[in-house]
Chain A
């Protein structure tokens, strides 16, 4: 294994003691071949809260997000050192069930990526691969998921039409519905509004605040206002390190680290 670089400085961890840390990252480093993308990250993400990851392009925030459902496994030559626990289980333990992990940890991508299928089949995809065949049960799940993703009213008359005919913002909410259909506990969102117009962005943000009651949400964004609007906790990453993490209000009003202050006041990034 690789020796972990000595941590230069522990980030300020200050989660609310009442919060249960559903995701616990401990001294985690991540490598793409010889390149180290994440350096000694230690961070808690509490249940039923929105955690935002901010930082300039290439700082590793998406990479960090994608370690949480092991999507980086797709890329050959990636390697993890350290520990990521979700509900106490080490997700990188040998023999850990990646499929079960990804059902528990849903993901919404930067660009809306509905399948070239009908709206119904998009949402039913997850339940179907989990073995649900019954048409009535599937219809229930699809309706419930579309309602939760705040898109049901717009599509209820055309669930059998192609998802590709929807607008970008609708497609993204459909993708959220698709992720919710497998009943995840955690929802990862990788810059979910960066491809959308302001109005659609507003609707997604509204949706996030509704969903936070039932799901643990972790959102990557390079829009600082967005992080301030929707999140409870914000982590600032820079060059693969977690520079600072704390309550969103506090981090944006009184950052403790100079780099954080420089970034949120727009001096770089």
Chain B
């Protein structure tokens, strides 16, 4: 008893408790989501989720097919990364390799400010700036579309991609740059053929984490995507993401009802997807550090 209560041990236990909080919370979230979703997986069954129609409040026949929501999320995520990945990598290359110190001092804080803007505010920006632009440029009936959502989401993923890629690029040893320059390569060739490939694992991790941010994002995308739960493959169609579905419908469901449990299933899927992305990103980063 004496030894158990020694200051050393108490401090150790306190620190251990603090450091394991996040592990416990992740486990708890998984557990509670699963507990709420489980009855749905038993009664209408997993097969119900595989359907192509999400009509939770239909009078004739309720259906809870999550495919339109998954394709919605995937389409928006794919388009957003199409925009954010090249921009993010080029931005990171510029900040870390090309910019003069003065420019860097100016650019970096703005990247961080962009990261800190609440997504609702970016949603406003999307609504008044991006949506009308998409509508007029592509002559659409409505600008509320997957593309608009992708632009807004791309803006949100950009700071993550830029700052983590930049760290990776700056971690590339100068010896590689010197070797390339000494062979007669110019700076641009050196950047694209030596520095960026050497930083690729870190950049991959950055993109993964950016993806994670995009998939989990809710408010911004809900405001500009149009929210039609349909399977769509065109950037100009209205889509609804998994996150937007949960946020929009959770307030109106019967507590403990089928619809309620279906939403928890969607949440579980979402959590699994972001969890997997983060694990992959960490794996990649670890491999990079060990090298």
Residue of B with least CB distance to A73 = B181
Residue of A with least CB distance to B190 = A129
- Which 8 pairs between the two chains have the least Cβ-Cβ distance? A113-B175, A103-B184, A107-B182, A102-B184, A126-B183, A99-B184, A113-B179, A129-B185
A174-210 interface mask toward B, CB cutoff 8 Å, 1 = contact, 0 = none? Answer: 0100110010000000000000000000000000000
Say yes or no for B198: interface residue by CB 8 A criterion: yes
Say yes or no for B173: interface residue by CB 8 A criterion: yes
Q: List 24 A-B contacts (CB under 8 A).
A: A69-B182, A71-B178, A71-B182, A99-B184, A99-B185, A102-B182, A103-B183, A106-B183, A109-B178, A109-B182, A111-B175, A115-B176, A115-B179, A116-B176, A116-B291, A125-B183, A125-B194, A126-B183, A126-B184, A129-B185, A129-B189, A129-B193, A178-B179, A179-B183
Contact residues of B between 182 and 202, Cβ < 8 Å to A: 182-186, 189, 193-194, 197-198
> Interface of chain A, helix or strand or loop or mixed?
helix
Say yes or no for A35: interface residue by CB 8 A criterion: no
Say yes or no for A264: interface residue by CB 8 A criterion: no
Residue of A with least CB distance to B101 = A76
**Contact: A115 with B194, CB < 8 Å?**
yes
Contact residues of A between 93 and 139, Cβ < 8 Å to B: 99-103, 106-107, 109, 111, 113-117, 125-126, 128-130
Given contacts A115-B198, A164-B291, contact A109 B184 (CB under 8 A): no
Which chain A residues border B197 with CB–CB below 8 Å? 115-117
**Contact: B179 with A175, CB < 8 Å?**
yes
Which chain B residues border A129 with CB–CB below 8 Å? 183-185, 189, 193
Q: How many pairs of residues, A versus B, come closer than 8 Å at their CB atoms?
A: 64
**Contact: A125 with B182, CB < 8 Å?**
no
Contact count band on B: 10 to 19
Which chain A residues border B282 with CB–CB below 8 Å? none
Which chain B residues border A69 with CB–CB below 8 Å? 182
User: A74, A114, A164, A178: which contacts B183 (Cβ < 8 A)?
Assistant: A178
Residue of B with least CB distance to A181 = B183
User: B175, B184, B291: which contacts A182 (Cβ < 8 A)?
Assistant: B184
A116, B176: Cα distance in complex, Å: 9
User: B173, B175, B186, B194: which contacts A99 (Cβ < 8 A)?
Assistant: B186
**Contact: A109 with B181, CB < 8 Å?**
no
Say yes or no for B180: interface residue by CB 8 A criterion: yes
Which chain A residues border B181 with CB–CB below 8 Å? 71, 74, 102
**Contact: A109 with B183, CB < 8 Å?**
no
A65, B143: Cα distance in complex, Å: 62
**Contact: B179 with A109, CB < 8 Å?**
yes
A123-166 interface mask toward B, CB cutoff 8 Å, 1 = contact, 0 = none? Answer: 00110111000000000000000000000000000000000100
A36, B180: Cα distance in complex, Å: 27
A103, B186: Cα distance in complex, Å: 11
A164, B181: Cα distance in complex, Å: 20
Which chain A residues border B179 with CB–CB below 8 Å? 109, 113-115, 175, 178
Shortest Cβ distance from A64 into chain B, in angstroms? 16
Residue of B with least CB distance to A113 = B175
Shortest Cβ distance from A90 into chain B, in angstroms? 19
A107, B194: Cα distance in complex, Å: 17
Which chain B residues border A99 with CB–CB below 8 Å? 184-186
Which chain A residues border B198 with CB–CB below 8 Å? 115-116
A102, B185: Cα distance in complex, Å: 9
Which chain A residues border B184 with CB–CB below 8 Å? 99-103, 126, 129-130, 182
A174, B122: Cα distance in complex, Å: 52
A54, B291: Cα distance in complex, Å: 34
Shortest Cβ distance from A59 into chain B, in angstroms? 21
